[in-house]
Chain A
Amino acid sequence: MKSAVITFPGSNREGDVIRALHQASGVEPLKIWHQDHELPQGTDLVVLPGGFSYGDYLRCGAIASRSPVMDAVRSHATKGGLVLGICNGFQILVESGLLPGVLMRNAGLKFICKMQHLKVCRANTPFTSAYKKNQIIKVAIAHGEGNYIADDDTIAMLEDGNRIAFRYCDAEGDTEKGNPNGSINSIAGIYSKKLNVLGMMPHPENLIEALVGGTDGRGLFASITAYKGAA
């Protein structure tokens, strides 16, 4: 599987996601600079990593979403290629229009950095086949602007189209009690219509070693690898 991890000025989780992808697939992902106009030939997966691109100036992800490389990412997505945006990467995806809605300041106004349970809403996608439907996993969140908002029609479209990837929940799976940031319907991640683009606020790439908190994040990278085939 050939993956490309885009680096913007201010990205800081690219190393974590490169490690997670390497662990799952046995192949080292390529690092792509945001000023590049093309993706490497044969790229299967593009990752927009977490961080604080452009210092979160203007709006989180707004300036990065207008980078030269984003045209290539958009055309990759249009052709059905896989795109994964984590945290700031999710913010870049909504700012670029590849996913609907917007990520506003957390309802409690605080930057939240903690372990968080998620419910896997569906397992029949390129990103989640290694999980079970409604499985509760524990990953990390670290964001100040993760409060997912969209108008009623968009929320209905996402819900009816089965496009919610993950919801925040507590250890028992209660999505209302476990909502850390005020997101509508506790939405933590969403898919594009064709399920080839996933944006999520939580960090599965930080939960891939038992020594540092757990391995619940591995499933996501294992799923992508299974979908695209290993090395």
Chain B
Amino acid sequence: MKARVTVTLKNGVLDPQGKAIEGALKSFGLEGIESVRQGKIFDIELISSDPAEAETLLKAAAEKLLANMVVENYRIEILG
């Protein structure tokens, strides 16, 4: 089974990299960009095919390592 964990900065946490990317995009003359926040995506292959089991496992992976819960949020998607 395939799954995706997306890690993003919590609201209100300053994201200097996102700001720099935002500045670069705007400097290309791309109109209509309000703001950019940068995050990370982890595509993970799982041995189990039980979605509930996968959810528990990925929650542990996210909270133990993938995300720093002080400043980051995570989202789990089971891709099937």
- Interface residues, chain A, with chain B CB atoms under 8 Å away: 58-59, 62-63, 66, 94-95, 100-102, 104-109, 147, 149-151, 182
Main secondary structure of the interface of A (DSSP, over half): loop
Interface residue? B14 (CB, 8 A): yes
CA distance A131 to B5 in the complex (A): 47
Interface size on B, residues (CB 8 A): 11
Q: Residue of B at shortest CB range from A151?
A: B70
Binding site for A on B (CB under 8 A): 13-14, 16-17, 20, 64-66, 68, 70-71
User: What is the count of residue pairs linking A and B with beta-carbon distances less than 8 angstroms?
Assistant: 36
**Pairs A–B under 8 Å by Cβ, sample size 17:** A59-B68, A62-B65, A63-B65, A66-B65, A95-B68, A101-B70, A102-B70, A104-B71, A105-B17, A106-B16, A107-B14, A147-B16, A149-B14, A149-B71, A150-B70, A151-B70, A182-B14
A59 CB contacts on chain B under 8 angstroms: 68
Neighbouring B residues of A149 by C-beta, 8 Å? 13-14, 71
- Kindly identify which residue among A58, A150, A182 contacts B66, using a CB–CB cutoff of 8 Å: A58
Report Cα–Cα, A106/B64, bound state, in Å: 25
